[in-house]
């Protein structure tokens, strides 16, 4: 079955540094991957979508890459700020649904 794996350990980053989160998938390459942000007690909020034929996508301080050889997507936040602290979820397509990773908690320390 298809799975999405994200690092379950919290990631602690110093303010101003680049935070990099990893999303690994199994089996065949998805047509696209989506990244969401989730704050405590709230629903996820969509951030970026990257398609299989795209190597990289950017949005302001966010950058997502898609490596079909490694079966991996990396999510980068440059010049990180304490307000970026949240849980970040990765999801892949599967028969018009999404399969979700468990998320990685990011903590940006001042």
- Which one among 13, 15, 20, 100 touches other proteins, defined by CB under 8 A? 100
- Which one among 16, 46, 67, 82 touches other proteins, defined by CB under 8 A? 46
- Phi then psi for 102, rounded to 5 degrees? -80, -10
Radius of gyration, alpha carbons of the chain? 13
How far apart (Å, rounded) are the C-alpha atoms in residues 86 and 9?
A: 13
- Which one among 11, 13, 49, 74 touches other proteins, defined by CB under 8 A? 49
Binding flags for other proteins, 65-94, as an x/- string (CB under 8 A): ------------------------x-x-x-
How far apart (Å, rounded) are the C-alpha atoms in residues 92 and 31?
A: 8
């Amino acid at each position: 079955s298809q799975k999405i794996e994200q690092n379950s350990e919290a990631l602690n980053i110093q303010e101003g540094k680049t935070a990099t989160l990893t999303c690994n998938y199994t089996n065949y390459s998805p047509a696209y991957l989506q990244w969401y942000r989730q704050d405590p007690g709230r629903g996820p909020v969509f951030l970026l979508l990257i398609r299989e034929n795209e190597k990289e996508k950017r949005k302001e301080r966010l950058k997502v890459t898609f490596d079909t050889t490694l079966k991996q997507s990396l999510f980068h936040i440059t010049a990180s700020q304490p307000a970026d602290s949240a849980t970040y979820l990765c999801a892949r397509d599967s028969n018009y649904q999404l399969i979700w990773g468990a998320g990685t908690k990011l903590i940006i320390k001042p």
